[in-house]
Amino acid sequence: MFNFKCLLCNAKYACHFILKKMPIATFLLHGHLLNGLVLGVYEKEGETDSFDLTTAARSLDDAVSGKLSELLKISGPALKKGKNRIFYGLHEDFPCVAVVGLGKNNAGVCGSENWDTGKENIRAALSAGCRLLQDLEVSHVEVEACGDAQAAAEGAVLGLFQYDLLKTKKKTKVTTQLHGSDDVAGWEKGILYGEGQNLARLLMEGPANLITPTAFADTIEEKLAPYSERVTSSLHFFWVQSQGWIVEQQMGAFLSVSKGSEEPPVFLELHYNGSPDKTQAPLLLVGKGITFDSGGISLKPPSGMDAMRADMGGAATVCAALVTAVALKLPINIIGLAPLCENMPSGKASKPGDVVTAKNGKTIQVDNTDAEGRLVLADALCYAHTFSPRAIVNAATLTGAMDVALGSAATGVFSNSDWLWERLHQASVVTGDRVWRMPLFQHYTRQVTDSQLADLNNVGSSRSGGACTAAAFLREFVTAPHWAHLDIAGVMGNKDEVPYLRKGMSGRPTRTLVEFAARLAQEA
């Protein structure tokens, strides 16, 4: 037993130092919420039952006369990667100390895994430590950097997020701060990266009756309001009673998807002028924004249809990435485009076999109204070219075939540019939110250009290679030399694959898009 004082009323209490399931009342001394601390330990090289303390853990160990080391030795097997311990009453400033296993100290970029293992270990470990303290209703947690303050901050922010806005009982709101003064800039950067992904998760998780096209656009505008001097936005509506902007732009493919819904479509356009050179060609980010996808007349089966509230994940991730780029003050010009609408069945909805005309004049035979994402993106990609972009990157929860191909391990990338692919890949290695290149063979193009009634068919002539034929369809609306299509259907949600994300919508690959933009800004 150790004696320690309540931090607020100075009363002395004794507490067991290792009690994983101690009642929460034990830590509410005289009704006061206590501070928590998350520290890391490494597996000792060449030894199976030993450990190395991080710099911060060693400092605390010295402050308590070696008690931390002693407790780690007697509390069970050495902490492996992903494992943890909680110690109580160890230090008067931190009555709750979570110690987490970081794995090997020398972990770095792994070629076979295509990520930085050390960064991923930090994110996963510190996320777990913060959640442990949150479960104890500790409201303020200090987190050590573990050698990478940005990764530590990302792990903390991403791990603590839970969508409970509509629940009466909510998780304890936890404030986090860096323990010590090591790399405050990296910590603050990681906070913004994590909050960016959480914004995408917030939008994707929200029910479709609340996150309508208009509500989605309003949310993004609200997030950008503090930066109005550097960002301009436009909401382009189409109302049945009038000839709107979308009609004037001749976006027949986009309108064909939206007309089955009572909700009006919105084309969200965001301009961030971050480069000192105002003539710099912008990076174009385009996101599919189907705020609910019933499949239209080609109705989806009811099982799992509720998840189609997140079919605007492409728009959520690119808009959240732009918001983050603005918050980071990246010296780059970015334009974000999000065609937002619902895909619903009604007497006004498109029917299989209908032919529509896209903005570039190409006609499209719509044989499957559930292949709607490529239709809204077709017009958005055509519009993107009017800005003479430096590069175009679009993101979309486009095909179930991509989920079958890669699962949740990586985002599938189809690109006509080795230059663009390499930069996306390099960014994903840093963030741990991986990308994997997929083929754009003419073999797939022939399957979508073989149409009985029009220039193109919105589905391939075969079920095979569905993600590839969808990408080939989009390519028919691209003339820019640097374009990449990110099919994020497989990474839309998280069960337990990414340890620092709770179950639910993932917000992937927001951080990879931000890191890509940050690296592109450095090349300017």
The catalytic residue positions are: 300, 374
- Report in angstroms the alpha-carbon separations of 69 from 1, 13, 50, 106: 16, 23, 10, 21
Half-sphere exposure (Cβ direction) of 382: Cα atoms closer than 13 Å? 21
- Report in angstroms the alpha-carbon separations of 184 from 54, 324, 371, 476: 18, 18, 46, 46
Handedness of CA 492, 494, 495, 496 (dihedral sign): positive
Structure tokens at 443: 């073999």
Residues 6+ apart with CB under 8 A from 53: 39, 41, 42, 61, 68, 69
Cα distance between residue 354 and residue 453, in whole Å: 9
Using omega within 30 degrees of 0 as the cis cutoff, is the peptide bond preceding 226 cis? Answer: no
Would you call 428 helix, strand, or coil by DSSP? helix
Cα distance between residue 408 and residue 381, in whole Å: 26
Cα distance between residue 22 and residue 304, in whole Å: 38
Structure tokens at 213: 């096209």
- Report in angstroms the alpha-carbon separations of 174 from 33, 134, 145, 180: 11, 7, 18, 18
Contact present, 405 and 411 (Cβ < 8 Å)? no
Pairing of the two strands 140-143 and 2-5 = unpaired
Cα distance between residue 290 and residue 213, in whole Å: 8
HEC profile for 129-194? HHHHHHHCCCCEEEECCCCCHHHHHHHHHHHHCCCCCCCCCCCCCCEEEECCCCCHHHHHHHHHHH
- Report in angstroms the alpha-carbon separations of 137 from 23, 131, 142, 256, 393: 11, 10, 14, 50, 41
Find the radius of gyration of the CA atoms of the chain.
25
Structure tokens at 36: 């928590």
From the list 91, 105, 90, the residue with the least C-alpha distance to 53 is 105
